Amino acid sequence: MTDSIVTLSHIQKSFGSKKVLKDLNFTIAPGNIVGYIGPNGAGKSTTVKMMLGLLEPDDGTLELFGQPISPKDPSYKRRIGYVPESADVFDALTAREYLSLIGQLYGLSAADAEQKALALAELVNLRDAFDRRISSYSKGMRQLILIIASLLHNPDILFWDQPLNGLDANTVLVIEEVLQDLRDQGKTIFYSSHILDVVQKLSDRIIVLNAGTVVADGPFKAIAKEADTNLQQLFNDLTGFAEHGQKAQSFVDIVTEGESHEDA
Amino acid sequence: MKMLKKTEPVPNDPAALPLPKAFSWLVRLRPTFEKRGIQFDQLRLILATKSLLASRESSGLGSMFNNNKRGKRSRLRITFLWNTVFGAVLGLLLLIPASIVTTFTMFMTVQLLTSFLAILTSYSSLILDPRDRTVFAARGVNDRTLSFARLLNICFYLGMTLLAMGGPGIVISSFHYGPIVAIGGFIALLFSGILSLMLALFVYLLILRFFDGERLRNMLNLVQILLMIGIYAGGQLPNLLPQSMSIFGASISDQFSWLFIPAFPAWFAGLPMLFAGQVTALSLLLAGLSVVIPVAMTLIFFHFSGVFEVYLEKLNQGNARPRKLGWWFRGISALMTRPGEERTYFTLGWRVLGSERDYKLRVYPQLAYGLILPLIFIGNELREMSFKSASHFIAYAGIGIIVALAPALVNLRFSSQPQAMAIFQYVPFKTHGLLLRGVVKAMFARLFLLPLVLMTAITTAIGGLDALVAGIAVIILTYGITLIMGWPLVGSQFPFASVYSANANFRGGSIGVISIILGMIAAVIIIFVGGFLGGWIFPLVLTLLGLTFGLLLGHFYRTNLRYELRINTEPE
């Protein structure tokens, strides 16, 4: 019997000549909120896709729920709720149709899936748009559809890749509380986000990935080197990005050089 | 039999989507599928969803599934009718007074080309849709089920295309050769469709296995074009037999020869020969190959179908670095455009066309087909290696280019990122016609100019000054025709501002028909002018025509076009 719900050992992954993940190792215990952060291209989405069996590692082992994942038996995915990084949905469907489809893929009846989806949609003010095609939705509304889709089947673990993209501040607050409540009920949440103050506030543990390797791992207080730092500063230090002030100044200089076109 | 016991296609759950009628027979085979690892409920869901999605499109065969709206049905009927008319014309090949092996080889060569073209241009987006993995595979659908569902979906569309394009020919053959031979022809037609599909799938499988990133996309395009040429070349192999005569002459030899083995379009003449009572070594060999190879390929593909799904994820990975604009671009843009707005739009068009995978998949095979046409017209001369008139060859190449022109222009409307064109809604964009002119010129320069210049160089080496003059004249004429056709085909719709329709397969067929008809009209004009006037007058007339079109329309574009800057994120 293992304590961890997810175990990654010596995972490596390359795309062509580009090595995206280099010897990735971590485990996740149940009932935790784990923030998985890193610069663009660090390998966050690749990690999530491998945990879902969408990509195979070149090397290393990956276990979920104490078992190595196998493409021949995808039944473990019924215990996972997934929010993809890009809003890959079928735009021509309505939210009702799309969520019913996803619910059925997870083994719910169509009627149950629709009923549950409608109830969740009402809570996030999507009731009026429920029977409209998703193509007419704003970015935030699409994101909410993906979030609802990941929760319909009451999964044990959530893999959320940039779940807060496009959401308004009020909805972000709701989602934060939802995640905390789910964690309190024993669910495990593994998510990535670029909104670092939310990650700092919400996460029991933070894993920082840079250039395919873990550069920090632990609760925020444990990985922070100084007492008065915040996750943004820590992130900049860990990922070797210290020249933001200088870059901003250069940016403004270029924008404002030459004549103004106001009168053109 | 227990396996064939009839069960309801509609699941017990009343809110669930039922299987489309076209697939209701699958229910009877449920136990068999499940024994082979296919998740039947998931299969039903995927097929039902795909059908629902198809029915939401204003064009496409998928609207058959949901035939409540009269407009959609009538559009569908019109496109189906167009393809059937085209199929009836093709069917006339079977009336040529020649042996069965000759007529059916010619007929099946065109059928294979047509179905393969349809797969590459219209169904490739269904085969290579990595979105399915995010939606379905991430939610517990196994790779075998996903692959099988995709295959069934494509088979349905392909079956309808075969029916429209090949059905009339089979009916004609039943009058000409009798119903028994027609049945043989029909079975052969089905196997030819399977072979086309399997060829495409194996090519995709190999390329997905060995390549990544942008190279993967480029290889997909290149191999597709080479396969098109291969199919045509395969159909021509039996003509190389010593006893054979011209394609429109007498007959392909019906004596056994090993050349028939690589000539795979000829395989599909085997069953009609057998059904006509010609039980010979040749007919047995051909019929055997036409059945065994497609079936074997299908079984092998099923074995690898899971791997195919995993490889598809590669298409979701980020692109490699974009190519730099080279000397060809710099020279051509300086030659064809004026500095300023038009050159900016030319560059935009050039870059977009270089990165649009869907555009390449839809248009490049058509271009290859267009380039094959001259070989068909002067097949005899090529075979006899008596290249009498290089200038005639280049004229026919012009015809081929014109055949590919309609799809190349129509697809300028689409982009995988139509929202990007919204930038024109908030920048001061005044001269709309220059955008169209720049983009159409970029398309011509990128796709057509280089092959024409290369052909002119080759034919000049063979045919001397006459061929050079003819080459220049053809380039100018095709440029003029590009501008003429650009106006009706892209002038009403903002370029790159509509999302590609994954199921616009039937429209692909009708565009093919329109382009072939236009090509034929142009062929008649060019052959008439070239054949009867000859000498210097032929290229001179072409040059004058091209220059007139070019100058008139170049000005007309600038002053007479105003786009509605609308972005269509839903498939047309």
Instruction: Point out the domain boundary residue: B263, B290, B316.
Output: B316
Backbone φ and ψ of B349, nearest 5°: -60, -45
Task: Assess A105–B contact: CB distance below 8 Å, yes or no.
Answer: yes
A71 and B317: CB-CB below 8 Å?
no
Nearest to A77 among B15, B140, B143 (CB): B140
Residues from chain B that touch A152, judged by Cβ atoms under 8 A, are: none
> What would the pLDDT profile of B342-374 be if each residue is shown by its tens digit?
899 999 999 888 878 778 777 877 777 677 666
B256 shares its domain with B292:
yes
Q: Using an 8 Å Cβ cutoff, are A34 and A203 in contact?
A: yes
Chain A / chain B CB contacts < 8 angstroms? 97
Instruction: Identify which of A55, A82, A78, A47 has the alpha carbon closest to the alpha carbon of residue A65.
Output: A78
Q: Is A70 on the interface with B (CB under 8 A)?
A: no
Taking contacts as CB-CB distances below 8 angstroms, the residues of chain A near B318 are 15, 41
Say whether both B136 and B159 belong to one domain. Answer: yes
- The residue of chain B with its CA nearest to that of A109 is B13
User: Is the same domain home to B290 and B354?
Assistant: no
Residue B242 pLDDT = 44
Residue B304 lies in a domain: yes
Q: Give the residue from B36, B139, B215, B427 with the most A CB atoms within 10 Å of its CB, the best one to mutate.
A: B139
Interface test with B, best of A40, A86, A105 (most B CBs within 10 A): A105
E strand intervals along B14-65: none
The per-residue pLDDT string of chain B (572 residues; one tens digit each, 9 = 90 and over) reads 333 333 344 455 655 677 777 788 888 888 998 888 889 989 999 988 888 877 775 444 443 434 444 444 555 566 677 778 888 888 888 888 888 888 888 888 888 877 877 777 667 767 777 778 888 888 888 888 888 888 888 888 888 888 888 999 999 999 989 999 999 999 999 999 999 888 888 888 887 777 766 667 667 767 766 776 666 666 666 555 444 444 444 456 667 677 778 888 889 999 999 999 888 888 899 999 999 999 999 999 888 877 787 777 776 665 555 567 788 889 999 988 888 888 999 999 998 888 787 787 778 777 776 776 666 655 555 555 445 556 666 667 777 777 788 888 888 988 888 888 888 888 778 788 888 889 999 999 998 898 888 888 887 887 777 778 778 888 888 888 888 778 777 777 888 988 876 444 444 445 555 655 666 666 566 655 665 555 666 667 777 777 777 777 777 777 777 777 777 766 55
Give yes or no: residues B305 and B429 share one domain: no
The answer on B364 and B258 residing in a single domain is no
Helix locations, B415-449, DSSP H: 423-426, 432-443
Q: Considering the domain boundaries, does residue B377 fall inside one?
A: yes
Residue of B312, B352, B358, B354 lying closest to B500 (CA atoms)? B358
B427 close contact with A: CB closer than 8 A: no
Interchain contact, A104 vs B45, CB within 8 Å: yes
A162 interfaces chain B, CB cutoff of 8 Å: no
Residue that finishes a domain, picked among B316, B349, B380: B316
The verdict on residue B570 lying in a domain is no
CB of A151 within 8 Å of any CB in chain B?
Answer: no
Alpha carbon of B570: minimum distance to chain A alpha carbons (Å): 7
- Judge whether B555 lies within some domain: yes
Interface touch B143/A97, C-beta < 8 Å: no
Q: Does A109 touch chain B (CB under 8 A)?
A: yes
How far away is chain A from the Cα of B73, in angstroms, using its nearest Cα?
19
Helix ranges, B326-431 (H): 327-336, 341-355, 357-377, 379-384, 390-410, 423-426
Q: Is B159 on the interface with A (CB under 8 A)?
A: no
Q: Would the CB atoms of B137 and A55 count as touching at under 8 Å?
A: no
Whether residue B232 sits in one domain with residue B110:
yes
- A145 reaches B (C-beta below 8 A): no
CA distance A111 to chain B (A): 5
Long-range contacts of the stretch B64-68 (C-beta < 8 A, 24+)? B64/B22, B65/B20, B65/B21, B65/B22
The count of structural domains within chain B is 2
Q: Does A88 touch chain B if contact means CB atoms closer than 8 Å? A: yes
* DSSP symbol at B449: I
C-alpha A45/C-alpha A26 separation (Å) is 16
**pLDDT at site B381:** 54
Q: Does A87 touch chain B (CB under 8 A)?
A: no
Are B447 and B365 contacting, i.e. CB atoms less than 8 angstroms apart? no
Distance between A224 CA and the closest CA of chain B, angstroms: 33
- 3-class state of residue B115 by DSSP: helix
Chain B residues touching A90 at Cβ < 8 A: 49, 53, 131, 135
Domain that holds residue B271: 99-316
**Shortest Cα distance from B21 to chain A (angstroms)?**
19
Q: How many helices (H) and strands (E) does chain B have?
A: 23, 2
* Long-range pairs, B25-34, Cβ under 8 A, ≥24: B26/B152, B28/B3, B28/B4, B29/B3, B31/B2, B31/B3, B32/B3, B33/B148
Give the gap in angstroms from C-alpha B354 to the nearest C-alpha of chain A. 21
Judge if B242 and B346 occupy the same domain: no
B293 and B366 both lie in a single domain: no
**Per-residue confidence (pLDDT) for residue B16, from 0 to 100:** 67
* Cβ contact, residue pair B314, A77, below 8 Å: no
B317: closest CA among B168, B214, B445? B214
Tell me which DSSP letter residue B263 carries: -
With helix as H, strand as E and coil as C, how does chain A read?
CCCCCEEEEEEEEEECCEEEEEEEEEEECCCCEEEEECCCCCCHHHHHHHHCCCCCCCEEEEEECCEECCCCCHHHHHHEEEECCCCCCCCCCEHHHHHHHHHHHCCCCHHHHHHHHHHHHHHCCCCCCCCCEHHHCCHHHHHHHHHHHHHCCCCCEEEEECCCCCCCHHHHHHHHHHHHHHHHCCCEEEEECCCHHHHHHHCCEEEEEECCEEEEEECHHHHCCCCCCCHHHHHHHHCCCCCHHHHHHHHHHHHHCCCCCCCC
Residue where one domain finishes, among candidates B285, B316, B347: B316
Task: Say if residue B292 is in the same domain as residue B371.
Answer: no
Nearest chain A residue (CA) to B307? A71
CB contact under 8 A, A135 and B49: no
Q: Mark yes or no for CB contact A84/B320 under 8 Å.
A: no
Question: B137, A93: Cβ pair inside 8 Å?
Answer: no
Q: Where do the domains of chain A lie, and which CATH numbers do they carry? A: 6-255 (3.40.50.300)
Nearest Cα of chain B lies from the Cα of A56 at a distance, in angstroms, of 8
pLDDT values of chain A reduced to their tens digit, one per residue, 264 residues: 457 899 999 999 988 778 889 999 999 999 999 999 998 888 898 999 999 888 889 999 999 998 898 877 888 999 999 998 887 788 888 999 999 999 999 989 888 999 999 999 999 989 999 999 998 899 999 999 999 999 999 999 999 998 988 898 889 999 999 999 999 999 999 999 888 888 888 999 999 998 889 988 988 888 887 667 788 888 887 777 777 778 888 888 888 887 655 544
Beta bridge partners of A27: A7
Same domain, B299 and B424: no
> pLDDT digits over B16-67, tens only?
677 777 788 888 888 998 888 889 989 999 988 888 877 775 444 443 434 4
Annotate B305-318 with three-state secondary structure: HHHHHHHHHHHHCC
Distance from the A225 Cα atom to the nearest Cα atom in chain B, whole angstroms: 35
A74 shares contact with chain B (CB less than 8 Å):
yes
Instruction: Specify burial of residue B109 (Cβ count, 10 A radius: 0-12, 13-18, 19+).
Output: buried
Q: Mark yes or no for CB contact B15/A88 under 8 Å.
A: no
The answer to whether position B63 is within a domain reads no
A261 touches chain B (CB under 8 A): no
- Domain shared by B476 and B515, yes or no: yes
Q: Count of alpha carbons within 13 Å of B565, Cβ hemisphere only?
A: 16
B140–A90 CB contact, under 8 Å: no
Lookup result for tokens 């010593």: B242
Q: Please, which residues 5-64 of chain A have a Cβ atom closer than 8 Å to chain B?
A: 15-16, 41, 49, 52-56
Report the pLDDT value the prediction gives residue A220, as an integer from 0 to 100. 86
- Among A56, A84, A106, the residue with its CB nearest the CB of B140 is A106
Chain B residue nearest residue A155, CA to CA: B139
For testing contact with chain B, the best of A50, A101, A261 (most B CBs within 10 A): A101
d(CA B193, CA B111): 8
Residue B518's identity, in one-letter code, is L
For residue A25, how many other CB atoms are within 10 A of its CB? 13
Domain identity same for B331 and B305: no
Question: Which 8-state DSSP code applies to residue B96?
Answer: S
In a domain, B347, yes or no: yes
Spell out which residues of chain A touch residue B320, defining contact as CB-CB under 8 Å.
16
Q: How far apart are CA B317 and CA B320, in angstroms?
A: 9
